[in-house]
Every structure is written in structure tokens, then in C-alpha cells.
Amino acid sequence: MFYPTIHVCGVLAQPNYKFGAPSLQQIHYLEAPEESKAVSAALLATLKTRGVAKLKNHGLPAELIAEMFDYTKKFFALPLEDKMIAKHPPESTPNRGYSYVGQESVGSISGYEKGVSEGKQVRDIKYANGTKQETIDIGSAHDDLVDNIWVPEEKVPGFRKFMEGFYESAFKVELEILAALAIALGIPEDEMKMLHSKGENEFRLLHYPAIPASELSDGTATRIADHTDFGTITMLFQDSVGGLQVEDQQNLGTFRGVESADKSEIILNIGDSLQRLTNDTFRAAVHRVTYPPTVKVGSEEIIPERFSIAYFAKPNRTASLFPFNKFITPATPCHYEDITAWEYNNLRITKLFSGKA
């Protein structure tokens, strides 16, 4: 049987932690509860300090992720009129399908609830060298409420089947990660899993077109503006272009680059729903995509196109996001009203789309 190892990068709180020994699956080994706790604690500590953790050998095969990037490139290489067959509806929900120029603006949530970039709205790049920033949002094939929106099979043969399968594989890994976080947070694993049992998640394929570095230099444009994600956790895959930055949770205001040596690494961050559920003891890290570290700011260099895939894990729509009891104490009174995951998601996403052209 294959037991992938979990590699938690940048562990600060567990200096003696050795890479390679414990695995995500082994977290469930009753024989090794101490080891399970150590891995979970290391993961939590990394997220709480760095805002982000990298996971290797997490159970999603490298070939599957390579294929994911291949399909993503094939989709975005289609002529615009083909992609528009799978067009995202003009409203914010259902959040499915292909988004074209100006349809969504993460710039509109810059600073939202976080107090960052105050007074300065940063717009997404809409046109660069005649191309656009573009995304496609995909959910579960078994979603009771919302259907996916696909291009016809012959446009990218195998695309739909692959994406539906990838969704299921990523969901299994999501549950393992959530279980690990539950252990570290002292929340019953079952409670965490039940909260996510329906797999009402979304994932997004992103294509950032090539752009001259000079177009980013006046500060009014960025590839994706400062924001937090809405769900519980996000598993991100990126190519080697670079430019992703995450706010250091011990030095707020300082953003650190997160590069992937290998595109099969999962870059893990937590979202606002988990921040709510933990009554702010575990905070969602602000992140953005800007210059790759090798590019000189303001130069005439062309920043190459970039592809990434973000899998947003969300609690069941009907679940309450009221903080878990253990996080409400006389010293830490409840910061949040009760709201369902679906109401909260829609509030956030409507805000995101309010920047729509």
C-alpha cells in the first residue's frame, strides 16, 4: 500500500520534525498517535506563522497534476468564441463557467475585511498584448443545486471527464488535510469531515496572459489583487513562472514569495470560513500574484503567461459557520453572527462580482 509522505515546509514550531517519516494517511494510525499529532501540529504551526504551507507527496500523483495543467492550457488555447460557449452567467451565482475580460474583479475586494491597501483600488489586468485574464470555475459533477458549464466534448476531448475525476481525487486529499487540521485544532475529526461531507467545493483554472513588466509598475494593475479566499482551505497548484506572494502572519504587511520547485506541490492556505469557525484564532492569509522575483520592477521585460489551479474547499451549504464552542471563551467572546456557509459564500462572491464591467 502506498503511504505518501507529507512535507511541511518552513516548520518553525517543530524544529526536530524530520521530513519524510509521517504521512497524511498515517495521521489516522492509531498505533502512532504521537506522530500524527506532530505532523498535524507542524502543519498548523506553519500555516499560523507563514500563512501558507507546501505539501509534497500528498497522494495526488504528479502525472495527474501534469495532465491537469495540460488540459488547462488546451482549454485556454481555444478560440474565444469556443470558450464563450461555456460562459459564466453575468450574475455572481452560480459560480460556474468561463469568465472573460472584466467579468470578475478581485480588485473590488482588495482590502475587504483586512484593512490592506486602504484607499487604493487595484484593478485586475484585463488586456495584455491583446489577450485577457481568464478563468473557468468548476464544481462537483454530483452537485444537487448547480450544474457545471462545459464546452462541447469535441472542443477539448476528455476535458470534462478529466475535470470531474480530478474533482473527486482532490476531494479525498482535502478531507485528509482537514482531518489533520482538526487534530491540531482539537476539533473532533468527524465533526470537521461532516461539515464537508457533501463536497460542495469549487475549483478554478486560471490563465494570466503575458504582460510587459512596465504595465504593473504604476501600482494600479496587478495579476491578482490582495485577497483572502472564502472557503475553509485552498489547495493551489502553480507553474514555475512565480509571482505568488502570501502575507507573513508574524509580520503583517510583509509579503513573501511562494515558488513551486515542482508543479505537483500543493500550496495550502486557509480561508475565511475556517477563520470564522475558529473565532479568529486561525486567520486566513492575504495573498496576491504580482511580479515573478526575477523580473525587474518597471522594466520592459515581458512577464510570461502563467497558469494556476485553485481548489477551494467549502463547508456544506446548509452548515453553520458559527464558531466551534471551544473557541468561544470569556477571554475570546464570539466575533461572528451565525450564518450558513452558502449565505456567506454568496455574500462574498457577490462582492467579488460587483467590480464587473
Ligand X SMILES: O=C(O)CCC(=O)C(=O)O
Numbers of helices and strands, H then E, in the chain: 7, 17
What cell does 201 get? 467545493
Q: Output 27 or 272, the one with its CB closest to ligand X.
A: 272
Report in angstroms how near the CB of residue 19 gets to Fe ion at its nearest: 26
Report in angstroms how near the CB of residue 226 gets to ligand X at its nearest: 10
202 is an interface residue for ligand X by CB under 6 A: no
Which of 273, 244, 243 has the alpha carbon at shortest distance from 342?
A: 273
Q: Residues binding ligand X: what is the number (CB under 6 A)?
A: 11
Q: Output 152 or 257, the one with its CB closest to ligand X.
A: 257
Tell which one of 128, 170, 221, 224 touches ligand X (CB under 6 A). 224
65 is an interface residue for ligand X by CB under 6 A: no
- Cα 145 to Cα 262: distance, rounded to the nearest angstrom: 36
3-class DSSP state of 21: coil
Report in angstroms how near the CB of residue 176 gets to Fe ion at its nearest: 21
Tell which one of 134, 229, 265, 272 touches Fe ion (CB under 5 A). 229
CA 316 to chain centre: 17
| 256 touches 50 (CB < 8 A) | yes
Of the candidate spans 68-76, 190-198, 236-244, 337-345, the one that interacts with ligand X by CB under 6 A turns out to be 236-244
Report in angstroms how near the CB of residue 40 gets to ligand X at its nearest: 24
244 is an interface residue for ligand X by CB under 6 A: yes
Tell which one of 287, 314, 317, 348 touches ligand X (CB under 6 A). 287
Please count the other Cβ atoms lying within 10 Å of the Cβ belonging to residue 270.
27
- Using the Cα atoms of residue 288, residue 294, residue 297 and residue 299 in order, give the sign of their dihedral: negative
Measured N-to-C along each axis, helices 159-185 and 33-50 cross at an angle, to the nearest 10 degrees, of 100
CA 275 to chain centre: 14
Residues at the site binding ligand X, with contacts judged by CB under 6 A = 204, 206, 224, 229, 236, 238, 244, 287, 289, 308, 310
- Using CB under 5 A, list all residues that contact Fe ion: 229
